[in-house]
Structure 1
Amino acid sequence: MVNVILDAKNQSFKLTTIDGIDLYKFHARIDEQIDKANVAMTQGLSGKLMSVLESTLSKLGRYDEGSLIGSILSFTNVSSSGKDLGQGYVNFFRNNMDQIRGKIGDDLWTLNFFEQWYSQQVNMLSTWLSERMDHSLHYAQVTSISHIIKKIYSDFELQGVLEDKLNSKAYQSVIQRITAEEATCALTMPDVADGELNCDDMRNGDEEDGSEGGESGTHASRSMPKPKIGAAQAAAVTNVVAGRVGNLLGKGIGGLSSKLGSGGWF
């Protein structure tokens, strides 16, 4: 439908003129109607896409501080939800970017739409965080928002969105808040041996689905350092398992020796 409207825009002058002259002023009225249809379709498409981010943020809202559901999720250690939601939304907008780029023939329209879509996403994230300015974020919220905002920046940069559009005030406010929350999360997270999710896992999640080469230098400098969490987690789990096995073996051998010494088996 977008291609039809764009082609109608290009062909309307030929259809409404006689020998190149718009004698009956049809061209202006048809252009106005085409522009209205184009705006309606653009708003409809962006509205559908934004509804998915709204749904994602609504799910993350379950982890809000003081929320009963958030307390239950934390108590039952449902720690993968933040990562799953963040990566799920990244996969969604990447697939739709590929569809739009591949099916719509007008590159200028596509670029303008991507700029509008990027701005709407960042503004929605900024508004969502502003509503929780007086509350600390749950680590699932931090990991999800951090992953989403970084991937949005890098992927839309690869699509040709310019730096002045990418590095907006709304984007800067989101990055500053998430950086502060990441620092708080790193200081307050439980020990890895207790089975909790480390907040830095999602910052290393960039390596799971590609490099961060598309991000600008200023954006990359805002990210926190990436510690070698994988080795630390493996060592922690190994130590815990070895300690528990040792305790069990020690108790078993001790009990056996005590029975042998007391003659209770004979």
Structure 2
Amino acid sequence: MDQADTYITFVRQNQDILRDKVNEEMYIENLFDQWYTSSMKVICVWLTDRLDLQLHLYQLKTLIKIVKKSYRDFRLQGVLEGTLNCKEYETTHTRLTVEEATASVSEGGGLQGITMKDSDEEGEDVK
């Protein structure tokens, strides 16, 4: 999970830097919208290229964490629901949910609490 944590920390630090340095709110909102949309598109394309392959457990856990925390962090930065729930996000969410179900059956609970399902307990590590 170090890979996912490193990525999430990187994104959060850069969001904070942009908020501190750029004073034009409309520009920041547009930038965060584009950043989120581009991130989801990259993940979606990567998953689409691998439609016929099941994800490795490590890939699945890392992607679930990145997608969920990105969604939450960009929502906190003011990205609107319409942008957050874009086609790429919905496609990614569906694929990861199916992969999670497959992994839980075949791995016998190897996800160690990492899940696409929303829960209130996950809010404790939002910075």
Please confirm whether the aligned pair reaches a TM-score higher than 0.5, indicating the same fold: yes
Structure 1 counterpart of 2:31, one-letter code? F
Shift of 1:143: 0.5
Matches of 2:112 and 2:5 in 1, distance apart?
15
CA contact (8 A) 1:143 1:202 kept: yes
In structure 1, the gaps of 5 or more residues are 1-82, 192-197, 212-266
Structure 1 counterpart of 2:14, one-letter code? N
Matches of 1:91 and 1:208 in 2, distance apart?
15
CA contact (8 A) 1:136 1:181 kept: yes
Larger Rg: 1
Give the one of 121, 124, 136 matched to 2:39.
Answer: 121
2:125 maps to 1:209: yes
2:111 maps to 1:199: yes
State TM-score, norm by structure 2.
0.89
1:39-50 equivalences under 5 Å are none
- % same residue: 36
Structure 2 counterpart of 1:169, one-letter code? K
Residue 101 of structure 2: aligned partner = 183
Shift of 1:207: 5.7
1:99-138 equivalences under 5 Å are 99-138=17-56
Structure 2 counterpart of 1:202, one-letter code? I
What secondary structure, in the 3-state scheme, does the structure 1 residue paired with 2:53 have?
A: coil
Query: What are the Cα deviations for residues 52-93 of structure 1, in whole angstroms up to 9, with x where unaligned?
Result: xxxxxxxxxxxxxxxxxxxxxxxxxxxxxxx11111111110
Query: Alpha carbon RMSD of aligned pairs, Å?
Result: 2.0
Q: Which runs of 4+ in 1 moved over 4 A?
A: none
Matches of 2:80 and 2:43 in 1, distance apart?
20
Name the count of aligned residue pairs.
123
In structure 2, the gaps of 5 or more residues are none
Matches of 1:116 and 1:162 in 2, distance apart?
12
1:72-91 equivalences under 5 Å are 83-91=1-9
Query: What are the Cα deviations for residues 73-131 of structure 1, in whole angstroms up to 9, with x where unaligned?
Result: xxxxxxxxxx1111111111011001101111111111110001001000000000001
Higher relative contact order (CA 8 A, sep 6+): 2
